[in-house]
Amino acid sequence: MTASVTDQIRALEALAAVDAELKVLGDDLQQERSALDSQRGKLNELEEKLKNDRAHLAAIDKLRNEYVVEVRTMMQQLEHSREKMNRARNEREANAAQRELEELRKLIRDREDEVGKLTTDADGARQQIDAAEQEAKKVSDELGATEGGVRSKLAEIESRKAERETARAAAVKDVPPQLYRRYDMIRQKRGTGIAQTTTGTCRACNMSLPPQLFHRLRREPMIEQCPSCHRLIYYVPPQAQASAEVSEKS
């Protein structure tokens, strides 16, 4: 009976050690993936911005070209009005032609001002596009350089994880099914399923155990649950604690 509980504790410790490794591997996978995802996201954002900036520039250029054509047409009208003025047969006709000329000149000046403003806007938009293109190229190059490395790292972690999953399946077989179910339920909720006590404190949650419970745990090998964190708890003598800590960290 006593040997059996000791064996159960050993089996739980072996399983908990594999689970700790799996947790690290899972975290590593997530970290590598999110680094890659964030670079990809950045590139997508830049490409989206470039698309908008290019459409904006095309709209400015289109309007500017329309205004340039308008100015050209009004210049022709101006020429026409000048001829009309030269041909004026009386003062009334001359005045009318003069007014037409002045109006056209004003319209042409306004349109030319607009063309000037649009040219400035277009230059600004082009500079922004150039900067975004350079940034996108930089991110794309970085992604190209790291992607291969990250992919092989991911594959390596995946294969280690698969190997540890196999080890876990073997470790699970050494734990009595009912105990395993309790362990795994706690592990899923708390991240880890077992805890030790040496001085009457749960080493997982640092809460003091009721003296009677600690007394029972210390009297003979026994697996109980910590009343605070519900992890499966057992007693580890002071000298064994040091070696347990070393094996936990390695």
Tokens of 54: 């290019």
226 binds Zn ion per the rule CB under 5 A:
yes
**Is residue 205 at the binding interface for Zn ion, with CB under 5 A as the rule?**
yes
Using alpha carbons only, give the angle 32, 35, 37 rounded to the nearest 5 degrees: 110
Here's the x/- map for Zn ion, 65-104, by CB under 5 A: it reads as ----------------------------------------
| Among the residue ranges 34-42, 116-124, 134-142, 199-207, the one whose residues contact Zn ion (CB under 5 A) | 199-207
Q: Please state, in angstroms and rounded to a whole number, the distance separating the CA atoms of residues 187 and 217.
A: 21
Instruction: Give the footprint of Zn ion on residues 120-159 (CB under 5 A).
Output: none
Q: Are 165 and 22 spatial neighbours (Cβ–Cβ below 8 Å)? A: yes
The minimum distance between CB 152 and Zn ion, in angstroms, equals 40
Choose, by CB under 5 A, the member of 57, 202, 209, 232 that binds Zn ion: 202
Q: Which residues have CB under 8 Å from 220's CB, separation 6+? A: 2, 5
**Shortest approach of Zn ion to residue 226 CB, angstroms?**
3
Give Cα 146 to chain centroid, integer Å.
16
Minimum distance, C-beta of residue 203 to Zn ion, in the bound complex (Å): 8
Residue 81's CB is within 10 A of a number of other CB atoms, namely 21
Q: Does position 228 bind Zn ion by CB under 5 A? A: yes
Which residues lie closer than 8 Å to 42 by C-beta, 6 or more apart? 139
The one segment of 65-73, 153-161, 174-182, 197-205 that binds Zn ion by CB under 5 A:
197-205
Name the segment binding Zn ion (CB under 5 A); options: 74-82, 147-155, 201-209, 241-249. Answer: 201-209
The CA-based angle 16-22-27, given to 5 degrees, is 130
Residues near Zn ion, by CB under 5 A = 202, 204-205, 226, 228-229
